[in-house]
Chain A
Amino acid sequence: MNIRKYIDLRLIGIVGSCLLIVSQFSSWYSGLSLINIFLITTSVAIEDSFLYLFPLISGIICFIGTFLVLYKLEYKLNSVIINFIGLGFFLIFIIEIVPKDFLYIGSVGFYFAVIGALLILLDVINVLKLNNNLIEEGN
């Protein structure tokens, strides 16, 4: 069964970026979402607080990137570069947070974020593998 016949695989990027955005508002540490942690840390140590917004920033940037390629496949390289930038924010967040709080993280928000990032990665590879003929045929 060729799955490409039934669904447009480019949609997985949109799903992935939506998951990343949703993860910002879902529970990461025993009932606390990242937006809660951002608000708490802003009042205590503002220098660390912005880091907790990175998944949201990443999700928004990747949403723009994946939407661009859905809008027109001709922009696929731009879309890939925008997704690189978006995922960069997520990588920094993960590298900073996961080693520090590895034992405390395990709620649904974390899994949403990881699955979202993986879906975006798969979308990037899928977009790069799409044949240029598709562009000539007008998507």
Chain B
Amino acid sequence: MRKGIKINTENESKKEKERNQEPEPNFYYALGHKIRRRIIELIGENGFSSFTVLKKELNVSTGTIYHHLDTLSTLIKQKSDKKYYLTELGIRAYDSIRNNIGSISFDISKKDYDSFLLKGLMYLTPKRIMVKTNKPNFFVIILSIMILISGGIFCALNGLYPFFLLFGTIPEIPYAPFFNFLFFLFNFFVFFCIIEAISRIFYKKKENSKEFLSTFAIIFLPSALYLIIHYFFLVLMVIEITFVGILDNIIMIIFQVWSLWLLTYGIVAYKQLRIENALIISLLLHYGGFSLILIISI
């Protein structure tokens, strides 16, 4: 019996030694546990972390934390100030966690995920920005404000009114740039409120509203880019040229699909809805906006 225990302990210490010597097994072993992934995330988000912060955030016993910190010995290091920092391998592990957040939370079939269409859309999704963090990310907030301001300005310059993710003109209202600008901001808030209301009423998802609002403007990034491109076509007076006109329409369609994907991703990431339900919400709102434009235009 004693011999058996000794053999087991020897085996375990042998495995431990192997993990310490080879970075790859250690890397995957570390990412294999929820608490270890969270420790890496917490240290990665702030650059460093103290034991007290880890204990407060993880809400597990001191022994458990020490056990996981020991396991992560090649991914994190404790410096003289007693705080924990990521090693080079730890930074790679943190990057891997952040980059794979889409594939982790999405319930997508492998064939679907491997297609160039979805890979392309995932590549165009700013996953690092649209991910839930505990602290307000000022970079994201500034970026959101910039998108809103530039979107509003180019809406005014093009003389267009936004209806969710679509753009159109209102014949009865004369060209009023300031009104166009305000309409863009109003559209942003109304769109967010409708999605929030649908999530709360139909799916009972009340969480992460503030975080969702802070990154919601990212969904309008493709719209803002389209407005800039459209404005340049107008300024250069090439919009009347056959193929430029078609190109303008195709860019609008592609950028709308991109916006719809970002919206779906945002709903999945913040409201924890299934991707299918998020797509249904995006789809119905998009065509709701279209119907509004059509009714107003007629």
- B197 within 8 A of partner (CB): no
Q: A76-B112, A91-B290, A94-B294 are in contact. Are A47 and B242 (CB under 8 A)?
A: yes
* Chain B residues at the A interface, C-beta cutoff of 8 Å: 107-112, 115, 117-118, 121, 166, 168, 240-242, 245-246, 249, 252-254, 256-257, 260-261, 275-277, 279-280, 283, 287, 290, 293-294, 297-298
Interchain nearest-CB distance for B259 vs A (Å): 10
* Chain A residues at the B interface, C-beta cutoff of 8 Å: 46-47, 50-51, 72, 74-78, 80-82, 84-85, 88-89, 91-92, 94-95, 98-99, 102, 121, 124-125, 128-129, 132, 135
Interchain nearest-CB distance for B93 vs A (Å): 29
Do A125 and B112 touch (CB < 8 A)? Answer: no
In the complex, which of the residues A74, A92, A95, A128 contacts B112, with contact meaning CB atoms closer than 8 Å?
A74
Chain A: which residue is nearest B111 at the CB level?
A74
Residues of B near A51 (CB, < 8 A) are 249
Q: A77-B279, A88-B257, A94-B290 are in contact. List 19 more A-B contacts (CB 8 A).
A: A74-B110, A75-B109, A77-B109, A78-B112, A78-B118, A81-B121, A84-B256, A84-B257, A89-B249, A91-B166, A92-B252, A98-B297, A99-B297, A102-B298, A121-B283, A128-B280, A128-B283, A132-B109, A135-B109
Residues of A near B297 (CB, < 8 A) are 95, 98-99
A51 vs B110: C-alpha distance when bound (angstroms): 37
Interchain nearest-CB distance for A106 vs B (Å): 13
Do A75 and B280 touch (CB < 8 A)? Answer: no
Residues of B near A47 (CB, < 8 A) are 240-242, 245
Chain B: which residue is nearest A92 at the CB level?
B249
Please name the 10 residue pairs, one residue from A and one from B, whose CB atoms are nearest each other, closest first: A88-B253, A99-B297, A74-B109, A128-B276, A74-B111, A47-B242, A77-B112, A78-B115, A84-B257, A46-B242
A-B contact pairs, 18 of them (CB 8 A): A47-B242, A50-B242, A50-B245, A51-B249, A74-B112, A77-B279, A78-B112, A78-B117, A80-B283, A84-B257, A85-B253, A88-B257, A94-B294, A95-B293, A95-B297, A125-B283, A128-B279, A132-B107
Residues of A near B168 (CB, < 8 A) are 95
Q: A50-B246, A74-B111, A84-B260 are in contact. Are A92 and B240 (CB under 8 A)?
A: no
A95 vs B296: C-alpha distance when bound (angstroms): 11
Do A92 and B111 touch (CB < 8 A)? Answer: no
Q: A77-B108, A125-B283 are in contact. Are A85 and B257 (CB under 8 A)?
A: yes
Do A88 and B256 touch (CB < 8 A)? Answer: yes
Chain B: which residue is nearest A130 at the CB level?
B276
Residues of B near A91 (CB, < 8 A) are 166, 290
Interchain nearest-CB distance for A4 vs B (Å): 17
Residues of B near A89 (CB, < 8 A) are 249, 253
A92 vs B245: C-alpha distance when bound (angstroms): 12
Chain B: which residue is nearest A91 at the CB level?
B290
Do A77 and B118 touch (CB < 8 A)? Answer: yes
Chain A: which residue is nearest B282 at the CB level?
A84
Residues of A near B246 (CB, < 8 A) are 50
